[in-house]
Amino acid sequence: MLHDYYLLYSDQADTIPNWRKANKNDLCNQYLDESDEYKKSAYMAAIVCRYWQALTASYGKSFMSASEEDAYDWFIEAILYALSHAVWRDPMSKLYNDPNGPDKAINKKIKCARLTYFQQHNRYNRKINHEVESLDKIYAELGDSCVPSIVDTNEEFDCTSLVRGQLSQHNYFFALVIDLILNSDVFTTEHVFDSGKLVKQIKGLDDRYFKYFAKTYNWSYAKVESEFGRLKKISKSTLLNEFEYLTATLGRI
């Protein structure tokens, strides 16, 4: 299914010159600035294709618990969210005027969307009451000429709320892991998650990070220092075991 979708998107993207080698940040800004709806759709298709590897990698790590439709949905919704908010154009954002802002925002939202999916997956037991018509059925009805529709569900991939939700449930380790995954260097150069790097980040937590976390999530600095200081003192092997338990609980995050 995913390969078929990619071919459809790439066909539409071919109306954009040199889109395969164009700077991804430029494509995002050109999409936002384009007024012609046909060209805008072509830019969107090009952006989707340029980030397709993130989708396949994400699904490859999640196929035991998520379907291709699930992975496709969180991928598309994450891109839509990032583009609609365009934080790199917001003077109040730390990404403001960052030339790589679009790329950073999209990659962050894709990771956050995946985390959000697994949180909902656990809460609703694999969407038992899910009644949305599957993309496969739509594709079968509309035929090969149809590019899969991109519909903004307005679902908020608010990572701040996700972390705060875990804090309110006293899941301090989970909250910390989410923030570090989204905002720290815990991936290899091939964009593969590295639990060793995660442990290194935890062991290296300092006062600057405590202040950042307290401000970002509106949490007591004293509480941050106490809880994360305790986690920092835990042995590396114990932290790895805690993370393995967490990933098992999430369904192979």
By C-alpha distance, which of 88, 107, 210, 103 is closest to 157? 107
By C-alpha distance, which of 219, 197, 203, 221 is closest to 211? 221
What string of pLDDT tens digits covers the 253 residues of the chain? 788 899 999 999 999 999 999 999 999 999 999 999 999 999 999 999 999 999 988 777 776 667 888 889 889 989 999 999 999 999 888 889 999 999 999 988 888 777 776 655 544 443 333 344 444 444 444 444 444 444 444 444 567 777 888 888 888 888 898 888 777 777 666 656 678 888 888 999 999 899 989 988 889 999 999 999 999 998 888 888 887 777 665 544 4
For the chain, how far is it from start to end, CA to CA, in angstroms?
Answer: 22
What's this model's pTM, rounded to 2 decimal places?
0.57
pLDDT of residue 125: 41
* Whole-number Å distance between alpha carbons of 79 and 77: 5
Q: Which letter, b or e, does each residue of 163-185 get, where b requires 16 or more Cβ atoms within 10 Å of its Cβ? A: bbebbeeeebbbbbbbbbbbbee
Torsion of CA 67, 69, 71, 74, to 10 degrees: -140
**SS3 of residue 239 by DSSP:** helix
DSSP assignment string, 163-210: HHHHHHTT-HHHHHHHHHHHHS--B-TTS-B-HHHHHHHHHT--HHHH
Element (H, E) at 93: none
- Beta bridge partner(s), residue 193: 187
By C-alpha distance, which of 159, 248, 165, 238 is closest to 202? 238
Which backbone phi and psi does 20 adopt, to 5 degrees?
-70, -25
- Beta bridge partner(s), residue 187: 193
